[in-house]
Amino acid sequence: MLDPELRGQVYGIWQPLSQEEPVWSIAQWGTREKVTPLNQNTTISNSCKSISVVRSGAKSDLTLAVNANEEYEGEPRAEERMWAHLLVEQEIKSLPRLLDLKALKFHLEAKLLHSTLYKPELFDAGKHAAQYQAFFYLQDRNRESEGYGEMIWFGIPVYDNRKRKTDRYEAKDFAGSGMFICTLAHEYLCADSAHDGNWITLEADLLPEMLKAYSIARQKGFMQKTNSLEDIYLTGMNMGWEVPGLLDVSLQVRRLSLLAEKE
């Protein structure tokens, strides 16, 4: 678990179902009360959020919940305040280069458990929301490149309280990195909406859209020091909640996979 104040520093280990070396980190940015793993139960929580795992066959389901009404103490978040994040993230240690692949098959099943908006009369769709997404990091990892470290946030939309199915989104990341964000349209991955409270399946070959995202980023003035797709690698991912709005939300996921097919 990563400390929200000392970014990158691990302050606790939570392994309720395995003693193997952890591959996932838990990030809780923009929170006033971090979850501390005082035990190895399958649920850890505080008044602002909870994290749960449960066995599902040979794998596990993960549920992340954010109680933003408590997080923001019942008042809509001030625009200058960092919004609450609850994410799981991991490095992709094999570091596949996009040009060495012929497909990247993504699969995720998700179910919205609840989403409650408080003080709807004060809701501003431009700055208040609850979004559950997965992001892959497309990064220049050529140390000889002037653009070493430049990256694209490549997003998979799962749920957004403002819309049943979100549209494609391309913009600068205003949460701190300043890098390019490209999030796919919901319909590209799934015909159903998480708003209905049923299990939905999101799946697609992501490689064509990742290659397209690099081209669009260049056209929009990003990745200007990275001169070639030859330098772009898949370096990691995160998945979970960003909740700028006064909402209590919970969502369960299972069967996450990303399968690479090489040329």
pLDDT in the model for residue 5: 85
pLDDT in the model for residue 195: 98
Q: What is the mean pLDDT of residues 101-114?
A: 98
Confidence of residue 38 (pLDDT cuts 50, 70, 90): confident
Instruction: Give the DSSP H or E segment for 192.
Output: none
- Collect all residues with Cβ–Cβ distance below 8 Å to 251 and sequence separation of at least 6: 63, 64, 65, 110, 111, 112, 113, 132, 158, 159, 194, 241
Yes or no: say if 4 and 30 are a contact pair by the CB < 8 Å rule: yes
Does pLDDT of 64 surpass 80? yes
When mean pLDDT is compared across 57-61, 89-93, 172-176, the lowest value belongs to 172-176
From the list 44, 103, 88, 49, the residue with the least C-alpha distance to 243 is: 49
The residue range of the domain holding 256 is 93-262
51 in any annotated domain: no
Retrieve residue 58's tokens: 């040979």
Instruction: Give the DSSP H or E segment for 68.
Output: helix 68-71
Confidence of residue 1 (pLDDT cuts 50, 70, 90): very high
79 in any annotated domain: no
9 in any annotated domain: no
Does pLDDT of 86 surpass 90? yes
12 in any annotated domain: no
pLDDT in the model for residue 178: 85
pLDDT in the model for residue 20: 84
The per-residue pLDDT of the chain, averaged, comes to 94
15 in any annotated domain: no
Confidence of residue 173 (pLDDT cuts 50, 70, 90): confident
Does pLDDT of 174 surpass 80? no
pLDDT in the model for residue 78: 87
Count: domains in the chain: 1
pLDDT in the model for residue 217: 96
Tell me, what CATH number does 132's domain have? 2.60.120.180
Prediction pTM value: 0.95
7 in any annotated domain: no
Residue ranges in 142-235 assigned as alpha helix (H): 186-189, 207-219
18 in any annotated domain: no
Does pLDDT of 18 surpass 90? no
Q: How far apart are CA 87 and CA 141, in angstroms?
A: 24
45 in any annotated domain: no
Residue 35 has a CB neighbour count (10 Å cut-off) of 20
